[in-house]
Structures are given as structure tokens and as C-alpha cells.
């Protein structure tokens, strides 16, 4: 009905007529069998002529469903996780469920394909491992996990890894859907865990024949990956931006470019089988683990942890119920205040909660867990 787009010979539009084949919930009996799906602004979605869709929308007016605003409306062939979990049986307690697709290495495009029969391992914050395997539809699933945060082991072998992030698990719930991507790589190295949002990592051509080559996404455990690097001589540079710190550290751990180690790449591999790992002591920022005190979450608030320095630059992290601790980073030797901000779960019953007292901490190597005290009236 709207503007027509053409993609590989297929017709698509953000406003379409659709025939309802099956109803799950949300539509009254008197709604028509033919509806209008409106996927226009914001978060536009273009739907393909002749394609079956699982519709997650909102009623706008009689016969019209809004499917934009970042809804989960998607082609039926990619909606198998949603179909599997619609009745809630896969998400039931005790514990929570991790579920998602494994996407192929080159499929982060419109026409995705899924990887079946792939073994995956996830770990909780104590390091305990949980293994599963993707099925014929490329879906993996782990049920009855204790609430908290889980991370996938990224390295699968000498040339492939799984790209994913931290996965929160809540009691009696699935998700959020945790897709992981199977990617190729040529070589890798290590950084401290959870440092990824504070740094960028690049290879700098010593002879300036090519532009800087940025690493793939740094994984939560600190592992970084490079792929398809042209032969040449490079410096490995880590750009650090946290709390006003703006430094570049060169491998193996120096701020002086003259003392950086030259890395020679031949046939997509470093010559000499170098261990491309940065020692934590060589970096100007250090991890600051923070946990709620008391550790049990009442469920009344969604918590944000703020880390603020004396020069009023700060960073933040959001708390996952059941989490043992979360990690923020600060500049070595700097003092910080740790504060809590609680977003109310029932705004009509009670307001947000802001901690009046701060917990003081000085960033240093080997720092233990800092306890952020939850105010008595917010427990």
C-alpha cells in the first residue's frame, strides 16, 4: 500500500495488506481477517510481498496494526525462537532460560542463515560451565539456570570464534533472545575482562601503506580477534578513554611508540607466533568490581551503578538481578564515589531511589569487590 521497494527482484513496502492465518492473543474476535500492517516511521520495517510473518504489533485503529517502533515483527522463518517460547513452557522456572540463534559467519545481512549442530559453552560468574548444541533450526537453549550473568566461550578453534555479549538470566524468563555470530579470524590476543567499552584496538601500518585496521569486537572475557590483515609490519595500539584518560598504549605495554614491538604479518598470521596479550599492569585503567549490599534484590527497582571521579567524569553499569558483581573501570590511583540509582518498577506506588551516601574507593590493582549500599527504605 505504501512506497514500493525492490530488493533482489522482490517487492517490499512499509504499509501492506495481510491475511491473518493464526491468532495468539491481543485481537478481539470482531477484528477482520484482512488487516493493514503499518511499519512506517519510527523504526521502519519493509515487508516482502508473499512472505509469511509473525506479527508483534499494537492496535492503532480498527483493522490497523502498528508494527514499527522496533517491534519483533519478522519473517516466520527467522521467528522460530518466538514461536517456541510463545506459551512460556520453555521459560518456566526454576531458574531462567538462555535461548537464541547461531548465525553464520557472513550472514549479518538481510538474508540470514543459521548454524546447526554447533557446540556452545556458557559460564557463570563463578566460572562454572554449561554446554549445549544448536539444533536443526540453528537454535540453542539452556534451561533452569540460576539468575545472574552468563558469557559464551568465544574461541572455537584456530580460525573461528563466537561473537556475543554478556547474557542476563532472570527467574522464570527467556532472554532477551541471545543471538551469537560465528565468525572467522586469523589471530587473536587478550585484554582484561569487561574492558571492551572503554577501549578500541587497532593495527597501525608502520610504513603507512594502509589505513589503521580495527579489531573485531572485543569479547566480554577480553579476547580480541583480527581477520584478513594484509602482509606487512604493524604496531598494535590500544586507545583508552575512561574518566578523562585519553592514552594510547602500544603492545606489549608502553606509551612510547619508540618502545613498541613491531609485529610482522605473513599469510594472515604474526611471524614468530607472538602472544598478543596486554598485561593488566601496563594499562592506565584498572577494574573496579561492584556489588549490591545487601546482595539480594527485592525486585522493586532496576539498579544503575554510577562511578564518579573528582573531576566530575563518570561511568555507569546496570545491575542484573542474581549477578555476583559488575565491573567498571577507573584510572589507576584516582579516587571515586560509587552511588546507586534505582528506577522504580511501579511509578504509581513509589518513586525512584537515589542513594544519598557514596561508597569511596581508590582505583588500584587487585581491588576487591566494593559494596554499594542499598538504602534501607529501598530494600
pLDDT at 162 over 90: yes
Q: Do domains 79-184 and 285-378 have the same CATH topology?
A: yes
pTM, two decimals, is 0.84
- Domain 285-378 part of CATH 3.40.50.1860: no
**pLDDT, tens digit (0-9, with 9 covering 90-100), for 98-145:** 999 998 866 444 456 889 999 999 999 999 999 999 999 999 999 999
Confidence at 244, pLDDT banded by 50, 70, 90:
low
Q: Which H, E and C letters describe the chain, residue by residue?
A: CCCEEEECCEEEECEEEEECCCCCCCCCCCCCCEEEEECCCCCCCCEECCCCEECCCEEEECCEEECCCCCCCEEHHHCHHHHHHCCCHHHCCCCEEEEEEEECCCCCCCCCCECCCCEEEEECCCCCEEEEECCCCCEEEEEEECCEEEEECCECCCCEEEECCCEEECCCCECCCCCEEEEECCEEEECCCCCHHHEEEEEEECCCCCCCEECCCCCCCCEEEECCCCCEEEEEEEEEEECCEEEEEECCCECCHHHCCCEEEECCEECCCCCEECCHHHCCEEEEEEEEECCCCCCCEEEEEEEEECCCCEEEEECCCCCCCEEEEEECCCEEEEEEEEEECCCCCCCCEECCCCEEEECCCCCCCEEEECCHHHC
Mean pLDDT to the nearest integer, 48-69: 93
Confidence at 313, pLDDT banded by 50, 70, 90:
low
Mean pLDDT to the nearest integer, 372-378: 88
Confidence at 312, pLDDT banded by 50, 70, 90:
low
pLDDT at 368 over 60: yes
What is the rounded CA–CA span in Å between residue 331 and residue 333?
Answer: 6
Give the domain ranges of the chain.
Answer: 4-76, 79-184, 192-282, 285-378
pLDDT of residue 53: 96
pLDDT of residue 356: 84
Report the range of poorest mean pLDDT among 108-122, 152-166, 199-213, 291-305.
108-122
Confidence at 175, pLDDT banded by 50, 70, 90:
confident
pLDDT of residue 81: 92
Fold of the CATH domain 79-184: Immunoglobulin-like (2.60.40)
Determine the distance from the C-alpha atom of residue 367 to the mean position of all C-alpha atoms in its chain, rounded to a whole number.
Answer: 25
What is the rounded CA–CA span in Å between residue 249 and residue 55?
Answer: 49
pLDDT of residue 108: 46
Mean pLDDT to the nearest integer, 47-56: 95
Q: Within 13 Å, how many C-alpha atoms sit on residue 23's CB side? A: 13
Across the chain, what does the average pLDDT equal?
90
The residue among 187 and 207 whose pLDDT is bigger is 187
What is the rounded CA–CA span in Å between residue 317 and residue 303?
Answer: 9
pLDDT at 223 over 70: yes
Contact assessment for residue 352 and residue 342, using Cβ atoms and an 8 Å cutoff? yes
Share of the chain above pLDDT 90, in %: 65
pLDDT of residue 297: 79
Confidence at 69, pLDDT banded by 50, 70, 90:
confident
Amino acid at each position: 500500500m505504501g512506497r514500493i521497494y525492490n530488493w533482489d527482484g522482490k517487492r517490499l513496502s512499509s504499509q501492506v495488506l495481510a491475511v491473518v492465518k493464526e491468532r495468539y492473543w491481543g485481537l478481539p474476535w470482531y477484528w477482520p481477517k484482512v488487516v493493514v500492517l503499518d511499519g512506517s516511521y519510527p523504526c521502519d520495517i519493509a515487508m516482502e510481498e508473499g512472505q509469511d510473518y509473525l506479527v508483534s504489533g499494537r492496535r492503532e485503529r480498527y483493522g490497523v496494526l502498528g508494527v514499527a517502533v522496533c517491534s519483533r515483527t519478522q519473517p516466520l522463518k527467522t521467528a522460530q525462537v518466538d514461536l517456541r517460547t510463545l506459551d512460556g513452557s520453555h521459560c518456566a522456572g526454576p531458574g531462567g532460560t538462555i535461548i537464541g540463534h547461531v548465525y553464520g559467519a557472513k550472514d549479518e545481512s538481510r538474508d540470514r542463515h543459521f548454524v546447526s549442530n554447533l557446540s556452545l559453552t556458557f559460564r557463570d560468574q563463578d566460572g562454572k560451565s554449561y554446554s549445549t548444541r544448536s539444533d536443526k533450526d540453528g537454535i540453542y537453549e539452556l534451561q533452569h539456570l540460576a539468575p545472574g550473568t552468563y558469557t559464551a566461550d568465544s574461541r572455537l578453534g584456530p580460525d573461528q570464534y563466537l561473537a556475543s555479549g554478556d547474557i542476563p538470566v532472570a527467574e522464570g524468563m527467556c532472554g532477551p533472545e541471545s543471538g551469537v555470530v560465528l565468525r572467522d579470524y586469523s589471530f587473536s590476543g587478550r585484554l582484561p575482562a569487561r574492558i571492551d567499552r572503554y577501549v578500541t584496538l587497532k593495527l597501525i601500518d608502520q610504513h603507512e601503506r594502509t589505513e589503521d585496521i580495527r579489531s573485531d569486537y572485543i569479547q566480554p572475557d577480553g579476547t580480541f580477534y583480527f581477520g584478513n590483515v594484509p602482509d606487512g609490519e604493524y604496531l598494535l595500539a590500544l586507545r583508552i578513554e575512561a574518566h578523562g584518560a585519553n592514552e594510547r598504549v602500544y603492545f606489549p605495554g608502553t606509551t612510547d611508540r619508540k618502545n613498541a614491538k613491531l609485529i610482522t604479518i605473513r599469510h594472515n598470521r604474526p611471524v614468530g607466533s607472538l602472544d598478543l596479550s596486554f598485561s593488566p599492569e601496563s594499562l592506565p585503567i584498572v577494574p573496579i568490581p561492584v556489588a549490591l549490599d545487601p546482595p539480594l534484590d527485592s525486585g522493586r527497582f532496576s539498579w544503575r551503578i554510577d562511578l564518579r571521579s573528582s573531576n566530575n567524569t563518570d561511568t555507569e553499569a546496570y545491575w542484573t538481578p542474581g549477578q555476583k558483581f559488575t565491573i567498571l573501570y577507573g584510572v589507576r590511583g584516582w579516587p571515586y564515589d560509587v552511588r546507586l540509582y534505582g528506577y522504580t518498577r511501579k511509578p504509581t506506588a513509589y518513586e525512584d531511589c537515589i542513594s544519598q551516601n557514596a561508597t569511596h574507593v581508590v582505583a588500584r590493582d587487585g581491588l576487591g569487590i566494593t559494596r554499594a549500599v542499598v538504602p534501607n527504605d529501598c530494600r
